[in-house]
Amino acid sequence: MPGFRRQGKDLQMSSNEIAIKVEGLSKRYEIYDRPGDRLKQFIFPRLRKIFGLMPKQYFREFWALSDISFEVKRGETVGIIGRNGSGKSTLLQIICGTLTPTVGRVQTNGRIAALLELGSGFNPEFTGRENVCLNASVLGLTKEETDARFDDIVAFADIGDFIDQPTKTYSSGMMVRLAFAVIAHVDADILVIDEALAVGDVFFTQKCMRFLRNFMKTGTILFVSHDTASIRSLCETAVWLEKGVVQDKGLSKNISEKYLEAFYEAQQGKGTTTRVKAQASDAPSIPTRDPRLDLLNGSNLRNDIQLVELDLDGPSFGLGGAQISAVKLMDAAGNPLSWIVGGEQVTLGIEAIAVFDLESPIIGFFIKDRLGQCLFGDNTYLSYMDSPILFAAGETIEAKFTFDMPRLSPGNYSITVAIASGTQEEHIQHHWIHDAVSFKSEVSSTVAGILGIPMGKINLSLKTQ
């Protein structure tokens, strides 16, 4: 095969810290229009070579992956993000060893267990029990080891009597349950998971997440998805694949933001207008009210939330039909705040200037935690759905959201704001600013969960009979 580099002996790595190493990986698929062409390709180029002629190609090339290189360190959780057809699954299959790369090399360190698509490697005619034994055996477990773990696997899968039915009778959810149960019990060093978890119900997904978070302490995970939220919540770093090439790699939060931007840009084209300068009057010189004064003698668990910065020039994208010119947090009286207390009412004001005439503008926001997980958010669409406002070029519009700020667990938070036009389902993003406002929660009385809501009443009393 032209361009095929023969893999040599396995490299002995000096460092044991790397779990997966991918170097210059490319994968070419040969697409034949007629089955006979495959046979011709097999015979004629060799014959022509013998007679010293130039070999002729009987196929069209499709490069599913080109020149992919990255490393995954031991214990790291890496996400691979990309749209359908970007080569994610091909890459995973090559790493697992089921597909052969055309060029480049892959090295892995440790036992790999993979959950590729639904019911990886299950034989539909075999019963669940037989498939478990078979899969475990393929993954390198002896019969005795499999027998010892069998009850745990069945308990984890929790599919009841279906374990003795052929897997062709399984629902897709049951299939994933069983497949995941197997790979969770084979003492893998590296787990490769291909967006299959989405099929399971919420209880099973939670169980898997618990397992994965526990596994992450020691093992390496390669997680593939086109869903930015799950990548952000699970992975530290991410690799973004686009049309078979690595578009970017880095912290999963940054990568998923860029990916999201590209997604909108692909749908509506890239914005071309230049930024409107934020108005000077919005500079934080206005004295801000500090509600700490009102609560001077409050408890030491008071949820003080400090506004760290207002950054309207941060990473943003959009078509540019309107520009967000100011974002501020205010108290009920309309005074800008530099300090918020969880549980108090705040008003988030977002101002925007129209560059073009826009019909039905929508202004929205959401608040994210440090992992980039969206905690909550809202937009103006439903409230103004029946009486859309015409937003003429040059005008300024302001949206105000008044809500009770939840008590937030200690950590950094940010508010993403955006202006769009259209409807909830179909809209054009004009200006989307990642992390326009960031703030920090120092201490909190929140006991569990990612945020605390005001409790109506908490009572503890002894019941007398």
Partner 1 sequence: MNFQNPHRPQPTSLISLAKSVVIHRQLIWQMIKREVIGRYKGSVFGLAWSFLNPILMLTIYTFVFSVVFKARWGGDGSDSKTQFALLVFVGMIILGLFTEAFNRAPSLILGNANYVKKVVFPLEILPIISLGAALFHAAISFLVLTMAILVINHHLYWGFVFVPLIFAPLVFFTLGITWMLASLGVYMRDVGQPIGILTTVLMFMSPVFYPVSALPPKFQSIMMLNPLTFIIEQSREVLILGRTPDWGGLGAYTLISLLVMWIGYAWFQKTRKGFADVL
Cα torsion 441, 447, 451, 452 to 10°: value is -100
Which of helix, strand or coil describes residue 288?
Answer: coil
In the chain the first and final C-alpha atoms are separated, in Å, by: 86
**Residue 328 within binding range of partner 1, rule CB under 8 A:** no
**Residue 38 within binding range of partner 1, rule CB under 8 A:** yes
- Least Å distance, CB 312 to partner 1, is 48
- Least Å distance, CB 195 to partner 1, is 15
Spatial separation of the C-alpha atoms in residues 403 and 346, rounded to whole Å: 6
The answer to whether 18 touches 106, Cβ cutoff 8 Å, is no
**Residue 130 within binding range of partner 1, rule CB under 8 A:** yes
Cα torsion 172, 173, 177, 183 to 10°: value is 50
- Considering only residues 90-119, where is the footprint of partner 1 by CB under 8 A? 93-101, 105-110, 112, 114, 116-117
**Residue 393 within binding range of partner 1, rule CB under 8 A:** no
**Residue 43 within binding range of partner 1, rule CB under 8 A:** no
**Listed residue (422, 347, 354, 346) closest to 384, CA to CA:** 422
Residue 250 carries which DSSP code? E
- Least Å distance, CB 159 to partner 1, is 19
Spatial separation of the C-alpha atoms in residues 180 and 54, rounded to whole Å: 50
- Letters for 143-182 (x = contact with partner 1 by CB under 8 A, - = none) are x---------------------------------------
Structure token pair of residue 162: 């279906």
Q: Considering beta carbons, is residue 186 or 310 the nearer one to partner 1?
A: 186
> What is the total count of residues that contact partner 1 (CB under 8 A)?
50
**Residue 411 within binding range of partner 1, rule CB under 8 A:** no
- Least Å distance, CB 229 to partner 1, is 27
Q: Considering beta carbons, is residue 13 or 198 the nearer one to partner 1?
A: 13
Greatest extent of the chain over all pairs of C-alpha atoms, in Å: 103
Sign of CA dihedral 337, 343, 346, 350: positive
- Letters for 182-221 (x = contact with partner 1 by CB under 8 A, - = none) are -------x--------------------------------
**Residue 256 within binding range of partner 1, rule CB under 8 A:** no
The answer to whether 324 touches 383, Cβ cutoff 8 Å, is no
For the chain, the residue count is 465
Binding residues (CB under 8 A) for partner 1: these are: 6-7, 9-13, 16, 21, 29-30, 35, 38-39, 42, 93-101, 105-110, 112, 114, 116-117, 120-123, 125-126, 130, 133-135, 137-139, 142-143, 189
